[in-house]
Amino acid sequence: MKIKGSKIALIGFRATGKTLVGQTLAQKLHWPFIDMDVQLTATFGQAIDAYVRSHGWESFRDAESDLLKTLVAQERCVVSTGGGIIERADNREILADHFLVIWLRAAPETIQARLLQDPLTAANRPPLTHLPMEKEILEVLQRRTPLYEKSADLVLDTDNATPQELASRVETFLERF
């Protein structure tokens, strides 16, 4: 496998460690780190929750897709994607064609615990459904897991690993190419 344009995309559900692992990996590789949610928040001029409340999820997904298309021109970067990036077939195709895709996976219980511990969850992670958090996680994971599996070049479980350990595993993986 060729490292696709020397770009790495981290995919996975909310609170699986995409930002922390991405920052750590980018630092180890001496590559720029791009957090798509941070970029979108800057573009919107407001938190994701506020944007979604006023414009809806579809508009957010459109902006997310547009940003992903611009990132194709980047070289040697680590990108933390939004958890739902893989829901659109066009995005999965872009990821497959231009990025080494790493799925950061965690158990539903781990995800819920991390979401509840993060003070930024409310502003940066608006509800995806009208279900309680525990049921929402299970429902959305059920829908997205096959898409994450299909998209991933490498899968890393983040439940009991530090960002440094996970970044080292990616480095070891990259050394094979």
Q: What angle do CA 3, 143, 12 make, to 5 degrees?
A: 35
Task: Give the predicted TM-score (pTM) of the model.
Answer: 0.93
Confidence of residue 149 (pLDDT cuts 50, 70, 90): very high
8-state DSSP, 120 = T
Start-to-end CA distance of the chain, whole Å, equals 7
CATH class of 4-168: alpha beta
The yes-or-no verdict on residue 52 having pLDDT over 70 is: yes
Give the containing element (helix H, strand E) for 39.
Answer: helix 36-44
* Tokens (6 digits) for 106: 């965690």
Bridge pairing between strands 7-11 and 33-35: unpaired
- Kindly report which listed range (27-31, 51-55, 62-66, 116-120) carries the lowest average pLDDT score: 116-120
